[in-house]
Structure 1
Amino acid sequence: MNSFEIIADRVNLVRESLRELELDAFIVPHDDEHLGEYIPAEAERLAWVTGFTGSAGLAVLLIERAALFIDGRYTVQARLQAPGEIFEYHHLIDTPHLVWLADQLERGAKVGFDPRLHSLNWYREADALLRERGIELVQVTDNPIDRHWSDRPAPSKAPVILYGEELTGMSSTAKREQIAADLRRRGLDAALLTQAESINWLLNLRGRDVERLPVVLGFAVLYANSTLDFFVDSDKLECFPFTQHVGNDVSLHPIDNLGEVLTRLGEDGLKVQADPATANAWCQLTMEQAGATLVAGQDPTLRLKACKNEVELAGMRAAHQRDAVAMVRFLAWLDRLVESGETAGVDEGTLADRLESFRKASDLYVEPSFDTISALGPNAAMCHYHHSNGVPRPFGQDGIYLVDSGGQYLDGTTDITRTVCVGEVDEEQKAMFTRVMQGHIALDQARFPRGTAGIQLDVLARMPLWRAGFNYDHGTGHGVGHFLSVHEGPQRIAPKGSMEPLQPGMVLSNEPGYYRENAFGIRCENLVVVSESDEQGEVPMLRFERLTYVPFDTRLIDRALLSPDEFRWINEYHAEVRRRLAPQLDGADLAWLEQATALL
């Protein structure tokens, strides 16, 4: 069968189950039980039933219709992967899926959902909206996709990584006591933890259960006396070294025992903090229905995890230095390839593999921090394009190449985007690159008082594009973890959403862009860390300290658009790149660096 026939067959199988369950619709999110961005292969239900492999999206299957909801990063990709004969396409924000669904159904209809794959906030909002329309939201314990996914991958059995204090800077015991003390202060008995990054950070663990996310999957309940119940596949760890690593106050349980323990918390009448935005509905409803008092609160590890300590920041700086050397070697190789004209057989996949080969030269390199976006010409207009989703575009026919990539190193996580000249470019492309670069510089130079949120800074990166009548449909900056997720909250820089104040130690990306469908795409990204500003006035100020030091391609800059301050920024940045990296390079790579960082 071809791809259309495969997806059509799968959708029909799910619809048969819906008829058996007397359901009129079923909602399929891109989530697993932990509600993180990156999920293991066995949880890729949305991809199985739609063909769409993006990292964010949601499908609604009705008996006669189906719709796929995606954000602006995936507009083009969704149309390429999910058959338009089966799925309607809608923007997640512009057409909320619950509103759309309610408009399709009559009063008395029933909508199924898997409560382990949705947050409690989502459940309450969905239940209220559908109930108002006379539609019933029904919990499904036997997911209809799982019924028919006959070749579903088995969960990982990769052993846990015990992550030492020389890398974390703080013991698990100290972290647990810090959070437990806050629970006691607020009169709470326990906190439910469901997100893998939070639990791995708290217990100083890492793992290989999910590609691109170095975590071991599990659940945890932290009690006010600092003890913790950890629900995990015990095959992944050896009890004695594990206990020695985390301390005697951590009890291990099979994941299948989670429901039993959550029920007991309810029966004991405990007050349990849980994050209704990030913890799945099933966990919280199980506790609440058993008698627990749910206290809504943000995952208590988020702010602590986001504000890296000096040991973590030292690791991040070292990882970025290593990564910068790999990037320069790749960019130098790429320029030599273009100059040679020997590009037969080279395509986007070849380029991505070559870049990773330079990263692999480091003994501390583990894997990419996300699937490399290696995009030539029009493919760069898809913000989260991946060459394996179709036929990789051959090298040699485009003027612009965009590569967004990163590495998971044992001491830190990197993420960098460079847009590179690989052929003929026109004046408009140079103008657009320059405007994106101007936005990057403006955000990099920002000084702001304590209490400022990323939402208040986002306009700085967009203003040069706005002045010319352009914009981009994604956030400007996301948080980044320490050998954890490359996308970390609660900090972010975006036009909507979080009002979380930026605090010293938070790592974020600075990545404005511009995308013209079927033509080209541009993005300029460094990682930065929030730091105290040396320039103080009446109020304490913060600034961004750069972590990424790799040349930008000045061949794409329209000098006529730059101000004197922007000229100065580029030249000073490139001088610092040269100072940091030259001692680690030689030969043709060093010569390339000197040329790439020459005065503009």
Structure 2
Amino acid sequence: MNTIAERLAAVRALMADAGYAALIVPRADEYLGEYIPAHNERLRWISGFTGSAGAVVVLPDRAAIFVDGRYTVQVRNEVSAELFEYHHLIQEPYARWLTQQLQDGDRVVCDPRMHSLSWFRETGSTLESAGLSLVPDTDNLVDRCWHDRPEPLVQPALLLGEAFSGSNSAAKRAQIAASISEQGADAALVFAPDSVSWLLDVRGTDIPCLPILQSFALLECNGDVTVFVDPGRIPPGFDRHVGEGVRLLPESAAEDTLRSYSGKRVLADAEAANAWTQLTLQAGGATLVAGTDPVLLPKACKNATEVEGARQAHRRDAAAEIRFLAWLDAEVDAGRLHDEAALSDQLARFREGGEHYQGPSFDTISAAGGNAAMCHYNHRNVPQPGQLTLGSVYLVDSGGQYLDGTTDITRTVAIGDPGEEVRRMFTLVLKGHIALDQARFPEGTTGTQLDALARQFLWQQGYDYDHGTGHGVGAFLSVHEGPQRIAKAGNAWALQPGMIVSNEPGYYKDDCYGIRCENLVVVRESAVEGDVPVYEFEALTLVPFDRRLLDTSLLTDAETAWLNGYHQRVLEEIGPLLPEADRHWLEQATRPL
């Protein structure tokens, strides 16, 4: 069963046997995370699509794939138009699409472990309005057909000491338990693996780029916690590390344990926790108390130790990035125009020597020329990596996981002279980056309210980009962390001190070029004295922007001063960490405009 067509046929045969008119296959696993292990890549198996978000709907005689604006180009390159229709995930939700394709009485099957309870309820309601029914079935049809499915990787986690975490598990559990009691609950479902990892001060080692312990937990209002986890992921010394009150159970014991909460009130996040856990709690007689994951906000608001760790990790990461950029310039000057794979590998080698380095924080986006127009391009997923060419740009979006922090940076680099159009667009993007970086905002401000600052200069010229401006970032955890974000889409979470977010406006011209300017910043209190508390951003990323891509006539005096000041800070803080030749390159790259 090596072809996509054969896989679709096998799944359709099972659908026919069970009387299902449609199957929904999301890009998710039972933990609902963005990064999933190879054995859970069900969407890729059935379609060939390698992006980080999307869904496939299989009907008896055809299929459709739904992706968002980041992947409109990529999906056509990876997924057969003969086998799948292409649809926009946001503009044409697949639940609504299904109501237009099926007949009254038809049944749509999904695995409730792969969807949130909120999705399950809303989708069920949408389908029901058209006379259809949503059937939950944990006997996953893809898994039944995926006969060469990889075995799960199970490796012991790392124990993260207080020198990096700034607090211990017992103290964290006591803090969160108090908030559970305040919300009138007996326990909380701590579903997200990164929340469990933060709560226990452990980091997983068996998912590339994502150091989370694959697990979920029930945290009692007295601070005791039951963790559902494969025993093979628990390292020696775990009991002493976490302290008393931590019970470990295999995931096979989850159903019986969840059902044992009869009569108890359990705080659960319908948006973030999977439907199966909450439906099982309800089936056992528990009362669900709707609320957000109680670990979410404390985890997002980094303590002083975590913030300082992020600063130190970013300094080491900047040194690696700058050494790479200096090497790249020298190679181009010598006429050696490498391909995307060689460039990605070289950047990885510079990072690997850094103190506390644990690996990349995501697959490097190493994109030459027109490939950079695909926001989440991956050279590993194409037949032949692209080659640098003169008169173009190279976009490299990369990051590292360190014991003391997580990094994420994008730089767009001139390869020869890319021309006036590219310089104009790069400058408009950078102007937006500067505007957001310089924002001061009162307590209670959300990222949604700030998003237009980064887009304003593009908007004025009739341009935009189809992704968020900023995502949250963890402390040696997920490079995409909630609840904070900066985007057009509504977000009710106010930005608070200690939150780390990205600042990454961009512009993409299909098949021609892509531009993105990304730093990570941390929210801090401003020295401004007024009637209300005011916050601002501190840049954590310290790497120069490519001066060769600037149209300086478009910069105001204030913007020029910002760039000169930022570059001076880069030179002062990172210059001493570099070998002499790279320091000389940095001096040239940061000279004042």
Q: What's the TM-score once normalised by structure 2's chain length?
A: 0.99
Name the counterpart of 1:566: 559
- The amino acid that maps onto 1:456 is Q
Conserved? CA contact 1:376–1:398, under 8 Å: no
Name the counterpart of 1:73: 70
Q: How far apart are residue 141 of structure 1 and its match?
A: 2.3
Q: 1:308 aligns with which of 302, 311, 318?
A: 302
Q: Does 1:491 align with 2:491?
A: no
Aligned length: 592
Q: How far apart are residue 236 of structure 1 and its match?
A: 2.1
Name the counterpart of 1:475: 468
Name the counterpart of 1:221: 218
- The amino acid that maps onto 1:513 is G
Alignment of 1:4-403 (within 5 A): 6-238=3-235, 241-266=237-262, 269-343=263-337, 346-390=338-382, 391-403=384-396
Q: How far apart are residue 520 of structure 1 and its match?
A: 0.3
The DSSP-based 3-state class of the residue aligned with 1:521 is strand
Taking the aligned partners of 1:469 and 1:219, their CA distance within structure 2 comes to 46
Q: How far apart are residue 397 of structure 1 and its match?
A: 4.5
- The amino acid that maps onto 2:314 is H
Taking the aligned partners of 1:387 and 1:397, their CA distance within structure 2 comes to 19
The DSSP-based 3-state class of the residue aligned with 2:3 is helix
Taking the aligned partners of 2:403 and 2:153, their CA distance within structure 1 comes to 20
Name the counterpart of 2:496: 503
- The amino acid that maps onto 1:147 is R
Conserved? CA contact 1:491–1:506, under 8 Å: yes
Name the counterpart of 2:458: 465
Name the counterpart of 1:451: 444
Taking the aligned partners of 1:385 and 1:71, their CA distance within structure 2 comes to 14
Q: How far apart are residue 237 of structure 1 and its match?
A: 2.0
The DSSP-based 3-state class of the residue aligned with 1:216 is coil
- The amino acid that maps onto 2:204 is G
1:122-173 Cα offsets, whole Å, 9 max, x none, are 0100111111111011111211100011111111221111111111001101
Conserved? CA contact 1:34–1:280, under 8 Å: yes
- The amino acid that maps onto 2:361 is S
Taking the aligned partners of 1:297 and 1:35, their CA distance within structure 2 comes to 17
- The amino acid that maps onto 2:352 is K
**Stretches of 4+ moved more than 3 A in 1?**
none
- The amino acid that maps onto 1:297 is G
**Once structures 1 and 2 are overlaid, which stretch shifts more, 118-127 or 186-195?**
186-195
Structure 2 unaligned residues grouped into runs of 5+? none
The DSSP-based 3-state class of the residue aligned with 1:394 is coil
Q: How far apart are residue 592 of structure 1 and its match?
A: 0.4
Taking the aligned partners of 1:400 and 1:536, their CA distance within structure 2 comes to 43
Q: How far apart are residue 36 of structure 1 and its match?
A: 1.1
The DSSP-based 3-state class of the residue aligned with 1:12 is helix
Structure 1 unaligned residues grouped into runs of 5+? none
Taking the aligned partners of 1:41 and 1:331, their CA distance within structure 2 comes to 32
Q: How far apart are residue 238 of structure 1 and its match?
A: 4.3
Q: Does 1:575 align with 2:568?
A: yes
- The amino acid that maps onto 1:298 is T
Alignment of 1:400-439 (within 5 A): 400-439=393-432
Taking the aligned partners of 1:44 and 1:497, their CA distance within structure 2 comes to 29
- The amino acid that maps onto 2:365 is I
Taking the aligned partners of 1:292 and 1:528, their CA distance within structure 2 comes to 41
Q: How far apart are residue 107 of structure 1 and its match?
A: 0.2
Taking the aligned partners of 1:315 and 1:119, their CA distance within structure 2 comes to 33
Conserved? CA contact 2:23–2:110, under 8 Å: yes
The DSSP-based 3-state class of the residue aligned with 1:417 is strand
Conserved? CA contact 2:390–2:418, under 8 Å: no
Conserved? CA contact 2:369–2:388, under 8 Å: no
Taking the aligned partners of 1:369 and 1:145, their CA distance within structure 2 comes to 29
Taking the aligned partners of 1:236 and 1:476, their CA distance within structure 2 comes to 35
The DSSP-based 3-state class of the residue aligned with 2:588 is helix
1:68-125 Cα offsets, whole Å, 9 max, x none, are 1111111111111111111111111110110001110010101000011010000100
Taking the aligned partners of 1:95 and 1:7, their CA distance within structure 2 comes to 24
Conserved? CA contact 1:377–1:398, under 8 Å: no
- The amino acid that maps onto 2:301 is C
1:483-526 Cα offsets, whole Å, 9 max, x none, are 00000000000011212100000000000000000100000000
Taking the aligned partners of 2:391 and 2:272, their CA distance within structure 1 comes to 42
1:409-428 Cα offsets, whole Å, 9 max, x none, are 11100000000001221111
Conserved? CA contact 2:158–2:235, under 8 Å: no
Taking the aligned partners of 1:139 and 1:99, their CA distance within structure 2 comes to 18
